[in-house]
Structure 1
Amino acid sequence: MFKKILSLLAIALVSNASLAQQTPLDSIFTSEGLILAEVKEIAPDFIKYSFPDESLVNSIYKNNVQKIRFNSGRVQLFKESLGLAEINYAHDFTKVNLTHLESETKGLYKLDEVYAKAVGTTTLSNITTVKERAFRKLKIQAALLGGNVIYMLDQNTVGNQFGTEYQAAKATETILTGIVYSNSIPKVEDVTATLNDKKTFAVNSNFFAGRNSTDVEGNPFLPESFSVEDFYQENGFVYVRGHAKGIKNTLFKVVSFKNNQMTLYWKDKKKAYNLSVDL
């Protein structure tokens, strides 16, 4: 009888363990990929979760979470991430978001600082138009960096000043400064897997924008190929050493690595550039 009870207990334990393993997990869809885990808590700024058979509680900022599909079937969307568009090309600058709240950059990757200035042509220039031109310049710089958010540090607009006997006339101007962020950066392991096996890539585009540019321009002398010499990781970002005909620069930052293409970034004293190659 005792042996029979032990056998029944053993069967029950095995059954419970089997059921626990079969319990569906929650699906957390992030900008870096899918996480299968058990959601423990949804806080104001982040989400806490644990992996199967682990007591450790992990957390991820909401800015990096697009949605959660709970094991019950219910789906919860997160506006923090859904408002951030994917930037693949310099021409995606119109999709770049602006924020004046530093809290909205939590969990995002800091890319670089940007600066833009726009000045009216005469003292009759429209202040709003000049201001819009400055923001356009700022967004172009962000898109070249692969960023989709600009945290505004400072915005200064001075209206038209008409001349007097003692002071010269001055047209309206707007000066902007900000920090560029992104909710997704190229994964080192993805770049490594591709660049280790291949050294030469076909170039599909080469765009640039000057400090005073209000639009993205294409280089009419497009190199046919880009050759990779080596690459390395620094502070979470991937840098490539390589060369292409007609381009003096030899060190590039990888700002996008998706949709079967790699986009590189570099700048000089006057312009910022993007070179995209087919993977």
Structure 2
Amino acid sequence: MNKKFLNLLIFTSIANIGFAQQVSSDSIFTKEGLILADVKEVTPEVVKFSYPAETVMNSIYRNTIEKIVFKSGRVQIFKESLALGEINSAFDFEKVSITHVESEIKGLYKLDEVFSKAVGTTTLSNITAVKERAFRKLKIQAALLGGNVVFMIDQNTVGNQYGGYYQSGKATETILTGIVYSNSIPKTEDVMALLNKQKTFKVFSSYYAGNNSTDVEGSSFIPDTFTAENFYTENGFVYINGQTEGNKNTVFKVVSFKNNQMILYWKDKKNAYNLTLELE
């Protein structure tokens, strides 16, 4: 047999074997990474699957899946996940989604509860404008937490109340309460691995928003460094005990860990804050 032909035959066989190995499982792409599995069923809410060489049935919510590449080569895109904006900083608050549908938050990570209130300046204030201002405040609070979805649990709007001879008028107001969720949170093991190696970080930026703020504001003073003293985990999140110049707060929650940056969050009675650290 011709030597060149034999080499070609061997190469083709190896390539075919490699291809067969690559497509032996379905590939589920999520915000948390790739899952190699055998997809059994795709329902309106979840995808049911089993891991290779296993029979136990598992399920994952659709809104945490970006796409599935089936072993047949067919690709299924999941618009539920792609519709959720990516929050890289508090300035991405316009990307935060508002939902009243409970099924849309299934499978997402619960972050915290948020509250906002907007009041008109006079009894002639535009009710819609005041309501939009309240939602803007709510989205800012969510973005500071690293969330991209707010599930509304209470919404109350009172229209302008015009006064009379014996009673003063009252301007319109909207009060909102919601719970912040995200389809992606910092991986605990990655943050802990970093903190086990590095304790001092260069500060890149510092931002905050007050309880009544309709914009994210930059701090007038930005410290040079942040020093982590120790850390702990709680409910799947990493908290750091640390210090930075000009800040009395000593407990910080890690809300983002990507793009070579780590964003910390804390809150006092007046404001919610983000401190962005540069990673080596």
* Partner Cα separation in structure 2 for residue 238 and residue 42 of structure 1: 33
Partner of residue 113, structure 1: 113
Q: In the superposition, relative to structure 1, how do residues 22 and 91 fare at CA in structure 2: closer, same or farther (>3 Å)?
A: closer
Deviations 1:175-233 (A, max 9, x none): 11111111111111110111111111111110000000000000021001111111111
Superposed, 1:64-213 pairs within 5 Å as 64-213=64-213
Q: In the superposition, relative to structure 1, how do residues 60 and 165 fare at CA in structure 2: closer, same or farther (>3 Å)?
A: same
What's the secondary structure of 2:117's corresponding residue? strand
What's the secondary structure of 2:112's corresponding residue? strand
Q: In the superposition, relative to structure 1, how do residues 74 and 269 fare at CA in structure 2: closer, same or farther (>3 Å)?
A: same
What's the secondary structure of 2:129's corresponding residue? helix
Q: In the superposition, relative to structure 1, how do residues 275 and 41 fare at CA in structure 2: closer, same or farther (>3 Å)?
A: same
Superposed, 1:31-46 pairs within 5 Å as 31-46=31-46
Partner of residue 249, structure 2: 249
TM-score by length of 2: 0.91
Partner of residue 273, structure 2: 273
* Partner Cα separation in structure 1 for residue 23 and residue 211 of structure 2: 56
- Larger mean CA deviation between 134-143 and 44-53 belongs to 44-53
Q: In the superposition, relative to structure 1, how do residues 167 and 60 fare at CA in structure 2: closer, same or farther (>3 Å)?
A: same
Q: In the superposition, relative to structure 1, how do residues 258 and 19 fare at CA in structure 2: closer, same or farther (>3 Å)?
A: closer
Deviations 1:110-159 (A, max 9, x none): 11111110001111111111111000000000000111000011111111
TM-score by length of 1: 0.91
In the alignment, residue 110 of structure 2 is paired with which amino acid? K
What's the secondary structure of 1:196's corresponding residue? helix
1:53 to 2:53 alignment: yes
In the alignment, residue 233 of structure 1 is paired with which amino acid? T
In the alignment, residue 107 of structure 1 is paired with which amino acid? G
Identity percentage over the alignment?
A: 71
Gaps of at least 5 residues in structure 1 are: 1-17
Deviations 1:33-78 (A, max 9, x none): 1111111111221111122211122211111101111111111111
- Larger mean CA deviation between 39-48 and 203-212 belongs to 39-48
In the alignment, residue 75 of structure 2 is paired with which amino acid? V
* Partner Cα separation in structure 2 for residue 231 and residue 159 of structure 1: 47
Contact persistence 2:23–2:72 (CA under 8 A): no
* Partner Cα separation in structure 1 for residue 19 and residue 225 of structure 2: 55
| Moved >2 Å (runs of 4+) | 18-24
Number of aligned residue pairs: 263
What's the secondary structure of 1:255's corresponding residue? strand
* Partner Cα separation in structure 2 for residue 58 and residue 121 of structure 1: 54
In the alignment, residue 103 of structure 2 is paired with which amino acid? S
Superposed, 1:19-34 pairs within 5 Å as 23-34=23-34
* Partner Cα separation in structure 1 for residue 114 and residue 196 of structure 2: 33
Partner of residue 10, structure 1: none
1:216 to 2:230 alignment: no
Deviations 1:235-270 (A, max 9, x none): 111111111101110100100001110000000011
Q: In the superposition, relative to structure 1, how do residues 103 and 20 fare at CA in structure 2: closer, same or farther (>3 Å)?
A: same
In the alignment, residue 274 of structure 1 is paired with which amino acid? N
What's the secondary structure of 2:88's corresponding residue? coil
* Partner Cα separation in structure 2 for residue 211 and residue 22 of structure 1: 52
